[in-house]
């Protein structure tokens, strides 16, 4: 293993006062919060869908998905995450920054939270790095007994 860690850009956001991040290449854009159109779903984190420039995009409450308290405020945003052909909006309390890191990423909690691929320490902050593929996988597969929910053109 090399002693030099490659620089990575992360979109850092907060949920319930905790900091999380997605690699910038897994973020299509960040939009102001808009109330999703509700859909029946067996997944409590699915809040519904929005229309983004004519494309229907499912919206997830990231706090519910990660098991942390749900916040509500004027800084709430929807982070449009993508992996391959899958795309979903992730509701976050606030987007804090886009940050280039060179710090080594430590492994995440193996098996406990597949959405968390690792953690990184920056100054006195510890940020959990999320994986869009893991977040979108259950949504696209339909998770359990529900039908798949996909973004459509």
Tokens of 102: 């060179």
Domain with residues 8-119+129-141, CATH architecture: Beta Barrel (2.40)
Tokens of 130: 């999320």
Q: Supply the pLDDT for residue 153.
A: 44
pLDDT at 105 over 90: no
122-145: burial string, b at 16+ Cβ within 10 Å, e else: eeeeebbbbbbbebbebbbeebee
Q: Supply the pLDDT for residue 82.
A: 93
Q: Are 119 and 108 in contact (CB under 8 A)?
A: yes
What one-character DSSP code corresponds to residue 26? G
Q: Which tens digits make up the pLDDT trace of 127-143?
A: 999 999 988 886 665 54
In DSSP terms, which residues pair with 75 in a beta bridge? none
Q: Which tens digits make up the pLDDT trace of 5-40?
A: 578 899 999 999 999 999 999 999 999 999 999 987
Query: What percent of the chain is predicted at pLDDT more than 70?
Result: 80
């Amino acid at each position: 293993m090399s002693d030099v860690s490659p620089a990575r850009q992360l979109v850092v956001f907060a949920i319930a006062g905790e900091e999380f991040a997605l690699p910038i290449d897994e973020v299509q854009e960040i939009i102001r919060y808009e109330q999703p159109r509700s859909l029946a779903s067996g997944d409590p984190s699915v809040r519904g869908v929005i229309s983004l420039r004519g494309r229907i995009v499912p919206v997830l409450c990231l706090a519910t998905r990660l098991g942390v308290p749900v916040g509500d405020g004027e800084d709430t945003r929807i982070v449009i995450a993508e992996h391959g052909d899958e795309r979903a909006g992730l509701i976050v309390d606030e987007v804090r920054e886009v940050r280039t890191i060179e710090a080594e990423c430590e492994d995440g909690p193996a098996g406990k939270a597949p959405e968390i691929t690792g953690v990184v320490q920056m100054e006195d902050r510890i940020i959990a790095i999320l994986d869009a593929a893991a977040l979108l996988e259950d949504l696209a597969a339909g998770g359990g007994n529900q039908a798949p929910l996909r973004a459509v053109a």
